[in-house]
Amino acid sequence: MKKRINIAIDGPSGVGKTVMSTMLAKKLEYKFLSSGSFYRVIAYNAILNNIDLENEQAVNDAWHIEDLHVTEDDKIIFKNEDVTLKIREDNISRGASSIAKFPSVREKVNKFIQTFGAKYKGIIVDGRDATYRILPDAEVKFFLWATPEVRAMRRVKQDHEMGIESKYEDVLESMKIRDYNDMNRAVDPLKVSEGSIEIDTSDMSIDENFEAMYQEVLKRL
Ligand code: C5P
C-alpha cells in the first residue's frame, strides 16, 4: 500500500490555504479539514442564538462535539443542518476571528479535528496553529505567506468573478485587522512554527504554488 502522511498548512487569511489544500487533497486522495470552518460554525451558532460573542463560557457551552459532522463529500453538518455555505458570510468571518481567542473553544475544536484525524491517515488540515497544535506530528508542514496587499487584490478579483463588488481599501483594512488579531492573540497565534516550509506566494500563480507544495509532499511519500 502507498505510504500516507499528514499535512498541516498555516498562514494568514486569504493566502490560498484552502485552495491549495483542496488541490492537494484531490491529487493525493486525502481528506481535507479546514480548521477555520469550525470556528465559523461556533460563531454562526452564537450569533443565531443571540449569544454575546465576548462571553467565552456562553459561546462554548452552546455547542457539543457531537453536534458537528463532516460528510464524505465535505459538507459541514451542525445540529443536523448543512451550514457549509452559511458560514462563509462576512459577519461570520468577523465573529469567528473574535471567538477564536477563547482557549476553551480552541481545545474543543482541536479535539474534534484530532479525533477525526485519528480515523484517517492522510489528512490535510489548514489553519493558524495546524502545524504546531492541531497536527504537531504532521510529516509535512507549510507556512504560506503573501503580503496583505496581494491577498486583498486576489480577494477583490475573486469577489468580482462571483458578482460581488467589494472595495479594495475595505478588504485590505479587514485583512490587516484579522492578521493583527491572529498574530497577536495570547493563545496559539499565527506564527512560522519550527519545521515548517515557508512559501511566499506573492508572485506565484495557483499552479506554481501547487507545484511547489506538491514537490515537497512527494519527497516524503
Ligand atoms: O481560515 P478561516 O478564515 O476560515 O478562519 C476563520 C477564523 O478562525 C480566522 O479569522 C482565525 O481567526 C480563526 N482561526 C484560528 N485558528 C485556526 C483556524 C482559524 O484562530 N486554526
Domain 1-29+134-221 matches domain 31-121 at the CATH topology level: yes
Residue 158: the pLDDT is 85
1-29+134-221 placed in CATH 3.40.50.300: yes
Going by pLDDT thresholds of 50, 70 and 90, the confidence category of residue 1 is: low
pLDDT tens digits for range 73-92: 999 999 999 999 999 888 89
Alpha helix segments (H runs only) across the chain: 17-28, 35-48, 56-61, 90-99, 103-119, 148-161, 168-184, 206-220
What's the whole-model pTM score?
Answer: 0.95
Residue 192: the pLDDT is 98
Pairing of strands 31-34, 123-127: parallel
Ligand 1 binding pocket mutation candidate from 53, 182, 191 (most atoms within 8 A of CB): 182
| Cβ of 151 less than 6 Å from ligand 1 | no
Residues 16-41 as b or e (16 or more Cβ within 10 Å = b): bbeebbebbbeebebbbbbbbbbbbb
Whole-angstrom Cα distance, residue 153 to residue 168?
Answer: 7
Residue 66: the pLDDT is 96
Going by pLDDT thresholds of 50, 70 and 90, the confidence category of residue 61 is: very high
Taking the centre of ligand 1 as the mean of its atom positions, its distance from the CA of residue 160, in whole angstroms, is 23
pLDDT tens digits for range 104-131: 999 999 999 999 998 888 999 999 999 9
Residue 21 contacts residue 32 (beta carbons within 8 Å): yes
Q: Which DSSP category does 196 fall into?
A: P
**Domain residue ranges in the chain:** 1-29+134-221, 31-121
Residue 47: the pLDDT is 98
| Cβ of 128 less than 6 Å from ligand 1 | yes
Annotated binding site for ATP: 11-19
Supply the mean pLDDT for the chain: 95
Tell me the mean pLDDT in the region 207-215: 98
pLDDT tens digits for range 162-191: 888 889 999 999 899 889 989 999 999 999
Ligand 1 binding pocket mutation candidate from 10, 22, 38, 39 (most atoms within 8 A of CB): 39
Whole-angstrom Cα distance, residue 168 to residue 165?
Answer: 10
Whole-angstrom Cα distance, residue 182 to residue 194?
Answer: 18
31-121 placed in CATH 3.10.20.30: no
Percent of residues, the chain, with pLDDT higher than 70: 100
